[in-house]
Amino acid sequence: MMSESLERNLFRMARPWLLSRVRARGQRDAFTLVELLVVIAIIGVLVGLLLPAVQAAREAARRMSCSNNFKQIGLAMHNYHAAYNQLPVHGVGPTNESNNATGAAESKCSAIGIGCGFTRLELSYLVGLLPFVEQQALWEAVSNPIVEPDGDIWPAFGPRPSLSTTTVDYEPWMTDVTTFRCPSDPGFGLPSMGRTNYAACTGDSFYDAERGSTIWQANRWFYESDSRQMERTRCGMRGAFVPRSAMRFRDIQDGLSNTIAAGEIISGLGDRDKRSLTFTNAKGGFAAIARNPKQCEDRALANGLLDPARPRFWTSTARVPASERGHRWAAFHLLQSQMNTILPPNSEMCQVGHSDTYGVAPPSSQHTGGAHILLTDGAVKFVTDSIESGNSRQTTVFCRALQSGIDSTLPAGSRSPFGLWGALGTRASSETVSAEF
């Protein structure tokens, strides 16, 4: 009873105050403008603080996924080697022994049972890896003839993988393979075919990466049987992959853990990024670039072809080809699925000609500060743009180049002139790799 009486007395005493608070609340049923602005400002500050952290977390996840894809490719290489006692050939496929015309290679036939197109030995190492990266269905489509509803037929292994009005109808080459793509790269769709972000390493030189050891001349193919082309290949193709040759782990004499098998590349976005394509204005030809890998940048700076406000992009006055980096995973060409260790990661492309020619082709990425590389032992590492790379204006190693047969001032078998970075690209130049990278 005493407790109830006390409660009633307290309520009577507090009642006037409670009524005054209720009346005050009843008179004010919304935020003032000042309060609203303060709340908006606080929310804006919080978003400004949190958004970079969220974006960084997302990029970290994408970068990890990119590395995992590369590891899958490395595992696929080892499984391929275990099955066939060699790496997949980079620059391979059924061809026509009497016709090497690109138009014929890109054609299809209307007669059932007859396939007209052929690859011209232009398929990349990624095609052979399809069954080993859980792409058996795509491999079956590639390795068997495809008959279209109208009766047209594509031969097994398809046509030459080039972006023509005919070959865009060949569905396998237009397919984006998830394992061949880095999630950080935003490129998609035409004017590309199926894109890739992982390119085979051909070493610390580039002559003759577009023909390799097998060459078409005198209206026939010479399969590692032309002495001049073989000398060029032994001299200048110093990486884990030699175009159009079967390479084995036993050929990697510098050690599997010291030799790059493949590197990450961006796919071109049509934004004139110097890492995704070269300009075709006068560059001085093969000898100028082979003797000075920075020739493109030097010429661009001298002729106003490099945007001063955006030094990673060519200007609108720089003439650029239609095809860009990583636009065709099935094609073995330098621009599409090759890289070399001449200039450090994220440096400019510098091809002697335009799309399907040899030249300087560094790895590149949409990550900050570097790019992933796949070592031949299957390890994936992130290499920074600042890796020790020697003298970037030093001559590359080449022999019997062009019709004149000119040679480099560096003889065949020389250690790489491009420091630690160049040494990682060579398979058998007796370099000792002891520094961290």
Give the DSSP per-residue string, 154-213: EPTT-S-----TTGGG-HHHHPPPGGGS-TT----STT-SS--SEEEE--S--TTTTTTT
pLDDT band at residue 352 under the 50/70/90 scheme:
very high
Burial-class residue 168 by CB neighbours within 10 Å (0-12, 13-18, 19+). Answer: middle
Amino acid 351: pLDDT = 95
Task: Give the span between the Cα atoms of 148 and 169, in whole angstroms.
Answer: 10
Between CA 155 and CA 160, with CA 159 as vertex, the angle to 5 degrees is 155
**pLDDT of 3 above 70:** no
Q: Is pLDDT at 152 greater than 60 in this prediction?
A: yes
Q: Please tell me the predicted confidence (pLDDT) of residue 167.
A: 79
pLDDT for 27 beyond 70:
no
Looking at residue 292, the DSSP 8-state letter turns out to be -
Confidence at residue 412, expressed as pLDDT on a 0 to 100 scale: 94
Which residue in 52, 135, 69 sits closest to 372, CA to CA? 69
Distance CA 35, CA 181 (A): 49
Instruction: Please say if the pLDDT value at position 11 is more than 70.
Output: no
In which band, very low, low, confident or very high, does the pLDDT at 2 lie, cut at 50, 70 and 90? Answer: very low
| pLDDT value of residue 353 | 87
Count CA within 13 A, CB hemisphere, residue 15. 7
User: Quick count: other Cβ atoms within 10 Å of Cβ 423?
Assistant: 27
pLDDT of 431 over the 90 cut: no
- Res 19 pLDDT > 60: no
Chain segment 280-303, per-residue pLDDT in tens: 998 889 999 999 999 999 999 999
**Cβ–Cβ < 8 Å for 343, 205:** no
CA–CA separation, 363 vs 276, rounded Å?
Answer: 10
Residue 313 carries which side chain, given as an amino acid letter?
Answer: F
Rg of the Cα atoms in the chain: 30
pLDDT digits (tens, 9 = 90+) for 154-209: 899 999 998 887 778 899 999 999 999 999 999 888 888 999 999 999 999 999 99
CB 286 within 8 A of CB 352: yes
Per DSSP, the three-state class of 223 is strand
Is the confidence at residue 437, as pLDDT, over 70? no
Q: For position 153, what pLDDT does the model report? A: 86
Residue whose C-alpha is closest to residue 222's, from 233, 213, 234, 231:
213
H/E run at residue 350: strand 350-351
Which pLDDT value is given to residue 50? 72
d(CA 109, CA 117): 8
Q: Which tokens hold the place of 137?
A: 């269905």
Q: What is the mean pLDDT of residues 59-65?
A: 85
Residue 9 has pLDDT above 60, yes or no: no
Average pLDDT, the chain: 89
Is there a contact between 324 and 267 (Cβ–Cβ < 8 Å)?
yes
DSSP state of 251: G
Determine what percent of the chain is predicted with pLDDT higher than 90.
Answer: 70
Helix (H, G, I), strand (E, B) or coil at 151: coil
User: 341, 201 in Cβ contact below 8 A?
Assistant: yes
Q: Which of these ranges, 28-42, 136-150, 317-331, 355-369, has the smallest mean pLDDT?
A: 28-42
pLDDT tens digits along 108-122: 887 655 668 899 999
Between strands 198-201 and 338-339, the pairing is parallel
pLDDT band at 57 (very low <50, low <70, confident <90, very high): confident
In the prediction, which pLDDT does 1 show? 46
Better-scored residue on pLDDT, 221 or 27: 221
Tokens standing for residue 339:
């890289």
* Predicted pLDDT of residue 65: 92
